Amino acid sequence: MSTAHHLAESPDAPHRADPPDDATEPAEAPARATARPGRMRTVLRELLLTLGAVLGTLCLLSALAALLFGITPLVFQSGSMGPAIETGALGIARDIPAADARPGDVVSVELPTGVRITHRVVSSTPVGGDRVSLVLRGDANGVDDAEPYVVDRVDLLLTSVNRVGYVVSALASPPALFLGGLLAGLLLMVAFAPTRAARSAAPEAGTGPRRRHRHAAGGALGLTAVLLAGAGVVAPPPVGTSAAFTDTALATASAATGALPVPTITECTTSGATVTLKYTVPAASLTQSGIVATYGTGAAVTSTAPVAADARTISFVPASALLDVGSSWPVTISTVLAGTTWRGTSQSYTVTTLLGVGNLVSRTCRPTTP
């Protein structure tokens, strides 16, 4: 037996120990720790893309509904259709021929001045061709609107949801649209930016069918989210609607009747979002008249809140956006002769919103200066 063979078979010869089974665990532990944040980022990425796709789909459906079915969203800026339809409600209306409107329907008409009125139909009278004369009245009003509306088409109210109009108006504001553009850009970055796992993976690891499938699916979802989020640009914006006829004038019926009495505002106060007017009316007879408080927004949208002729205080809560800073609008008190547009209008006060966040509103009211 050779010496080499003897050494190989000797029990005293040293043996090289096999590595323990868990020798690779220290190397695998950092990999698992790194994988957890990676999975969280992937979940967050997919969540953002899915959210963008859902919001974009809603915008796209809204645009298609407006295009195909003549659907118009309405935001009620006054409470003359209360209590069923409150200030700040969102209504969904459909364009129809005015001749199809029936007594009891709630319709929205747009005046030549651009002001939109949404009230219930009292009566409808054809006046020639497709045009009809509609007499409207707000559910909260004691009398019909001051004069009929001669129109050929109207928007028929299909349904309404209280308070949702505040949210829709806020989402349609310029700051919200700007944030929507930023969101679309963020979705674009999230959809197509390479992940850390993709950057660090070996070239051969990223060529499998499963990885190619995930990459294609993520890219398709990202592109869908961005395109659908961009559809919000063409979605129809909500249309503000107010409650009554807005013409104001000081007129006389005849030399025998004289001018309507003109109220005088003695005090205008605010408490949160509520505006309260105190006023006096001359001792002239108001048997044929009512008292109307008129207030409006910067777009000349006004609404009326009739009260008893002998009342000397009137309070109301004008609608405002979810975030409102510095908006102002005039407020007046008028006497109005029922069935006419004749009014005796007081001096004007200006209500200014110092800060409004949701239901927390701070306002001031001062005499309007020329």
Identify whether residues 237 and 265 lie together within a single domain.
Answer: no
235, 274: one domain: no
Specify whether 160 is located in the same domain as 298: no
pLDDT value of position 172 = 67
Whether 163 and 173 share a structural domain: yes
pLDDT at site 357: 78
Verify that 165 and 225 share a domain, yes or no: yes
Q: Do residue 230 and residue 296 come from a single domain?
A: no
Q: What is the 3-state secondary structure (H, E, C) of 94-144?
A: EEEEHHHCCCCCEEEEECCCCCEEEEEEEEEEEEECCEEEEEEECCCCCCC
Distances (CA, A) of 112 to 109, 118, 173, 289: 10, 15, 25, 27
- How far is it, in rounded angstroms, from Cα 37 to Cα 230? 30
Residue 332's pLDDT is: 83
Pair 99, 105: CB distance under 8 Å: no
Residues ≥6 apart with Cβ < 8 Å to 363 = 270, 272, 273, 275, 351, 352, 353, 354, 356
Residues 222 and 187: beta-carbon distance below 8 Å:
yes
d(CA 279, CA 289): 16
Walk along the chain (370 residues) and give the pLDDT tens digit of each residue. Answer: 444 444 444 455 555 555 555 544 555 555 555 556 667 777 777 777 777 677 667 767 766 766 677 788 888 877 788 888 988 888 999 999 999 999 999 999 987 767 788 999 999 999 988 899 999 998 888 888 878 889 999 999 999 999 887 777 776 666 766 776 777 777 667 666 665 555 455 444 444 444 444 444 455 555 555 555 554 444 555 665 654 433 333 334 443 445 677 888 888 898 888 888 888 877 554 554 566 677 664 433 444 555 555 567 877 777 766 777 888 878 887 777 666 667 778 888 888 888 877 678 888 898 887 6
Could you tell me if residue 240 is inside a domain?
A: yes
- Residue 75 has a pLDDT of 85
Q: Are residues 75 and 148 in the same domain?
A: yes
Out of 245, 268, 301, pick the residue that ends a domain. 245
With CA atoms as reference, report the closest residue to 245 among 327, 342, 316: 342
**Is 273 within 8 Å of 363 (Cβ atoms)?**
yes
The separation between CA 163 and the C-alpha centre of its own chain, rounded to angstroms, equals 10
Report the pLDDT value the prediction gives residue 96, as an integer from 0 to 100: 93
Query: Which regions of the chain does DSSP assign to beta strands (E)?
Result: 71-76, 90-97, 106-110, 116-128, 131-137, 149-151, 153-161, 239-241, 264-271, 274-280, 289-296, 302-307, 313-316, 323-324, 328-337, 343-345, 349-357, 360-367
Domain of residue 301: give its range.
246-367
In a domain, 171, yes or no: yes
Domain check: are 263 and 194 in the same one? Answer: no
pLDDT of residue 233: 47
Q: Is residue 32 part of a domain?
A: no
- Give the pLDDT confidence score for residue 253 in this predicted structure: 40
- What pLDDT shows up at residue 119? 93
Residue 314 lies in a domain: yes
The pLDDT of residue 196 is: 54
Task: Enumerate the β-bridge partners of residue 87.
Answer: none
User: Is residue 226 located within the same domain as residue 333?
Assistant: no
Q: What pLDDT is recorded for position 106?
A: 94
Task: Specify if 5 maps to a domain.
Answer: no
Query: Per the domain annotation, does 23 fall within a domain?
Result: no
pLDDT of residue 26: 52
In a domain, 78, yes or no: yes
Q: Are residues 217 and 293 in the same domain?
A: no
Q: Closest Cα to residue 140, out of 122, 123, 158, 119?
A: 119
Q: Tell me the one-letter amino acid at 368.
A: T
The answer as to whether 8 is a domain residue is no
Looking at residue 255, which CATH number applies to its domain?
2.60.40.10
pLDDT at 154: 94
Q: Is the peptide bond before 83 cis (omega within 30 degrees of 0)?
A: yes
Task: Please indicate, yes or no, whether residues 226 and 344 belong to a single structural domain of this protein.
Answer: no
Count of the separate structural domains present in the chain: 2
Residues 235 and 108 reside in one and the same domain: yes
